[in-house]
Amino acid sequence: MAIAKAERLMNLALCLLGTRRPLSKRELRESIEAYLEAGSDDSFNRMFERDKDDLRELGLVIETVESLDGEVGYLARRDSNRLPPITLDAEEAAALGLAAKVWQQARLAGAASGALQKLRAAGLPEDVDPYEAHGALEPRIPVHEAAFEPLMLACRDRRPVAFEYRKANAAQPEPRNVEPWALECWRGHWYLAGFDRDRGAERVFRLSRITGKVRSRGGRFTAPVPDVVTVRETVASWAGETADRSALIRLRSGAGYPLRARATTVRELGDGWDELEIPYGHGLDAWLVEFGPDVVVLEPAELRADVVDRLRAVAKG
């Protein structure tokens, strides 16, 4: 129903913007298929009045003109419905440039390039780089995973998908059937939140652990999509962001910058190693495993054992 109404409103707007003279309700009814199918005159009149009000609420300026013979017509003059000139300051340009940067390594790179050209046409000076508008630090959100684009489209179209997924402590991937809700980037990695049909519950998947192709599945979603999908909050809780304990680790010098950013204390040990104290909570073991030989867990003992078990499982795979 929503798609049908949006299409009807679009057709009405195009008719009103494309005409050089006022169009009567009769002419509009004959030009728009949805109005022809409205049934009675009363049904059409109610639908037309609602649509006209909706377009005006969206900002379209619709004029009502009465002809010499008393017939009422409608039109939307182009000069009355033009957007004002677009100007962007450095901060706004940087934000939009960063959004376009998301697609730098996807097949949508061409569209992103065109969007940046439009940014410059809209007022961004030629000598300003939107990625460097705030100084030497260049903000980047890389998209390396092949799964990103098909999952992004599946989230948009509300289309179930299937893929092979390898958990951090698993040697082999497992099949997953998922109703995808949203994609978010957290600490340099992309995550998918959705409903796992096999487990009957909400799950979050890291895209870098998806192996093979993402396959579309027929049918509709079986679980309601929440109004707010808390991808970052879920991943953060797994990584110990809400922890009330501390872990002590050794970290190779020049490595593990995400861990250094979270450390409460850092002490140089010499011989190419540092000692860090970091928040400890559920999922920290899986995160530490990703740094491989650059990290050695000192305490607590249970965290050290969990990390060793995960490394052994990966080595067996």
How high is the mean pLDDT of the chain?
79
What digits encode the pLDDT tens for the residues 163-191? 999 876 667 889 999 999 988 877 667 88
Quick one: how many helices (H) and strands (E) in the chain?
Answer: 11, 12
Return the structure tokens found at 289: 């495993």
What digits encode the pLDDT tens for the residues 231-241? 777 766 655 55
pLDDT of residue 306: 83
* 122 — pLDDT class (breaks 50, 70, 90): low
pLDDT of residue 159: 92
CATH number of 245-316: 3.30.70
Q: Evaluate if residue 34 carries a pLDDT over 90.
A: no
Strand 63-66 relative to strand 189-196, pairing: unpaired
Q: Tell me if 105 sits within 8 A of 143, measured CB to CB.
A: yes
Q: List Cα–Cα distances, 234 to 173, 227, 282, 289, in angstroms.
A: 22, 15, 11, 19
Q: Evaluate if residue 1 carries a pLDDT over 70.
A: no
CATH 1.10.1220 fits 148-237, yes or no: no
pLDDT of residue 218: 84
Q: Evaluate if residue 9 carries a pLDDT over 80.
A: yes
* 116 — pLDDT class (breaks 50, 70, 90): low
Whether the CA torsion 168, 169, 174, 178 is positive or negative: it is negative
* Rounded CA separation 164/227 (Å): 27
* Rounded CA separation 262/278 (Å): 6
pLDDT of residue 187: 65
Residues 6+ apart with CB under 8 A from 187: 239, 258
Span 89-116, mean pLDDT?
A: 57
C-beta neighbour count of 185 within 10 angstroms: 16
Domains 2-80 and 245-316 share a fold: no
Of 40 and 140, the one with more pLDDT: 40
* Rounded CA separation 74/67 (Å): 11
Span 125-145, mean pLDDT?
A: 49
Task: Give 226's DSSP letter.
Answer: P
Q: Evaluate if residue 139 carries a pLDDT over 50.
A: no
pLDDT of residue 295: 92
Return the structure tokens found at 135: 């100084």
Of 202 and 229, the one with more pLDDT: 202
pLDDT of residue 142: 57
Report the percentage of the chain scoring pLDDT > 70: 73
CATH number of 2-80: 1.10.10.10
Span 28-43, mean pLDDT?
A: 86
Report the percentage of the chain scoring pLDDT > 90: 19
What digits encode the pLDDT tens for the residues 44-71? 999 999 999 889 888 888 999 987 677 8
What digits encode the pLDDT tens for the residues 252-311? 998 888 888 888 899 999 889 999 998 877 667 777 888 888 999 999 888 888 888 878
Helices marked H in 143-289: 148-157, 231-238, 257-262, 284-289
Domain boundaries in the chain?
A: 2-80, 84-139, 148-237, 245-316
Tell me the longest C-alpha to C-alpha distance in the chain: 95
Span 201-208, mean pLDDT?
A: 88
pLDDT of residue 94: 60
Secondary structure (3-state) at 57: helix
